[in-house]
Amino acid sequence: MISAPRVVDLSAEIRGAWCGRLLAEQGADVVLVESRSGHPLRSVGPFVGGVPDPEKSLVFAHYCAGRRSVVLDPADEAGRARLAGLAGWADVALVDRADRLALADAAAAANPRLIVATVTCFGRTGPDRAREGGDLVATAAGGLAALTGDPARAPLRPGGHQGEHVAGLHAAVAITAAVLTRDLGAGVASIDVSAQECVASVLENAMEFALLDGRRVARQNGRHPISWPGRVFPCRDGYVVISCGSAAEARACFDLVGDAAMAGHAVLEDRDTRRAAADWLEPLLIDGLLKHDEIDLFERGQALGIPIGRVLDARSLLDDPQLAARSFFREIDHPAIGRFTDVGSPFVVDGAAPSLRRAPLLGEHTAEVEKMLEGVSR
């Protein structure tokens, strides 16, 4: 039986923490190294109770779930020895800030077989390599903020730390490929992931327009650049999002709101003509949508073959019958936070969603891990 990959998690940002959670969810044994004051995400809210408390940060509880916590201080001799012990035990060391690369180097020195994975904001080479940043900087640097929002107003970072998520996801891919390759007999020494480049990799075709055509895809206030309708629309009691690729789908949108004249209009026939006419088509469609409710539009729209979705928030997401039917959400019992619900695994393997242990209390496993390391000789 092959053992679970062992990861020493030296992360400080959401991207590394998210990568660690993804790996843990797939069975990796992840040990989180914290300072005495705790992982930096412990000081980021929202906090349960509204007051900063290192055991009540939902950011830490969410992103750092699935691992054990060890407190050590690399500035002192004992801390360095403990870190070297962990590095000797691990298959992978994970670092996500430029100012922590010395930790990665120290870990590598302690274990020549260690895969050192860094997922810094700008990567380990190039003139900007020492620049730090979290989600705002990553989405600004990688081209996503420039594409999001109103062209007349400030570019927007998408909600929910997406720049950090794409970096953590790509890092998890590269790390898993490296571990797999090593288990097949070949050694990977290091992985250098750039959050900026990860963001630039998920821009749909904006990079291709820039590289191949010298053209800039401007932000369009949520409108799809190529097809119409393709955006969030208001309706009577909320919002729906519609994204049509074909003339038949666009026609069906006007059928959905009972506008037979527009449904038969010749302007809808061609994709580029439809998109060019968006400014006068849109108010007509919105007029119709405002007379109907979100769920009604979603159900009838789907029956008409329209790619239409509701705009779910955290509350309605929990009520979504599809996610509920596939047991997506996870109930967490946390000693300081109490009971709460978290999003679950992004996928299911052989019909089962993996379990994931709750986020650790600060230093909860220091003694346990110390004992484990005493028994390790590699």
Partner 1 sequence: MKRARLLDGIHVVELTTAFAGPYAGKLLGDLGADVVRVESARRPDIMRGYPPSLLPDGPERSGSFSSINRNKRSVALDLKTPGGRGAIARLIERADVLIENFTPRVLPSLGLDPATLHATNPRLVICRMPGFGLDGPHAAYRSYGPTLEGQAGLAALTGYPGEAPLRMGCSYPDMVGGVTAAFAVLSALRRRIGTGRGAAIELPQQRAAAALTGTAVAEWTASRRIAERAGNAHAWHVPHGTYRCAGDDRWIAISVRDETGWRALAEIAGLPPMDLSARQRARASIDEAIERWTIGQDADVLAGALCARGIEAQPIRGALDLVRDPHIAARGFIESIDHPLHGARPYAGPPWRIAGVAIDPHRPAPRLGEHTDEVLGEIGYTPDDIAALRAEEALT
Site for partner 1 in 102-131 (CB under 8 A): 122-131
Task: Compare residues 81 and 130 and give the one whose CB is closer to partner 1.
Answer: 130
> In the window 31-50, what residues touch partner 1 (CB under 8 A)?
43-46, 48-50
Q: Tell me phi and psi for residue 250, to 5 degrees.
A: -65, -40
Minimum distance, C-beta of residue 59 to partner 1, in the bound complex (Å): 6
Strand ranges across the sheet with 230-235? 230-235, 238-243, 308-310
- Interface with partner 1 (CB under 8 A), residue total 156
295 binds partner 1 (CB under 8 A): no
For partner 1, the closer of residues 73 and 192 by Cβ is: 192
Nearer CB in complex with partner 1: 187/258 = 187
Residues 43-82 touching partner 1, rule: CB under 8 A, are 43-46, 48-50, 58-59, 61-62
Can residue 336 be called a binding residue for partner 1 (CB under 8 A)?
Answer: no
Mask for 155-174, x = binds partner 1 (CB under 8 A): xxxxxxxx--xx--xxxxxx
- Residue pair 97/104 in contact (Cβ under 8 Å)? The answer is no
C-beta neighbour count of 375 within 10 angstroms: 7
* Shortest separation between residue 308's beta carbon and partner 1, angstroms: 6
To the nearest whole angstrom, how small is the minimum distance from the Cβ of residue 375 to partner 1?
22
Q: What is the smallest separation between the CB atom of 149 and partner 1, expressed in angstroms? A: 7
Contacts of 175 (CB under 8 A, 6+ apart): 7, 19, 23, 92, 94, 115, 117, 191
Q: How far is the CB of 82 from partner 1 (least distance, A)?
A: 26
CB of 63 to partner 1, least distance (A): 8
Among 276, 341, 357, 376, binds partner 1 (CB under 8 A): 341
**Closest distance to partner 1 from the beta carbon of 61 (Å):** 7
Q: x/- string (CB under 8 A) for partner 1, residues 203-222?
A: xxxxxxxxxxxxxxx-xxxx
User: In DSSP terms, which residues pair with 47 in a beta bridge?
Assistant: 57
Q: Which helix (H) or strand (E) holds 280?
A: helix 278-289
Distance CA 296, CA 166 (A): 34
Q: What is the CA radius of gyration of the chain?
A: 24
Write the CA distances from 14 to 50, 160, 323, 377, integer angstroms.
20, 11, 25, 32
Two tokens, residue 376:
């390790």
Task: Mark the segment that binds partner 1 (CB under 8 A) among 29-37, 76-84, 180-188, 362-370.
Answer: 180-188
As to burial, measured by CB atoms within 10 angstroms (0-12 exposed, 13-18 middle, 19+ buried), residue 185 is: exposed
> For partner 1, which is the closer residue by CB, 82 or 124?
124
Please identify, using beta-carbon distances, which residue of 321 and 335 lies nearer to partner 1: 321
Q: Which residue has the tokens 């998210």?
A: 18
Between 342 and 370, CB nearer to partner 1: 342
The only residue of 231, 265, 275, 300 in contact with partner 1, by rule CB under 8 A: 231
Instruction: Tell me which stretch binds partner 1 (CB under 8 A): 73-81, 183-191, 262-270, 281-289.
Output: 183-191
The residue to which tokens 């900063």 are assigned: 52
Min separation Cβ 89 and partner 1, Å: 18
User: Does the footprint of partner 1 cover residue 243 (CB under 8 A)?
Assistant: yes
Does position 90 interact with partner 1 (CB under 8 A)? The reply is no
208 contact partners, CB below 8 Å, separation of at least 6: none
The full length of the chain comes to 378
The DSSP annotation for 124-164 comes to SSSTTTT----HHHHHHHTTHHHHSS-TTS---PPTT-HHH
Residue of 108, 202, 247, 278 interacting with partner 1 (CB under 8 A): 202
> Are 168 and 18 in contact, with CB atoms under 8 Å apart?
yes
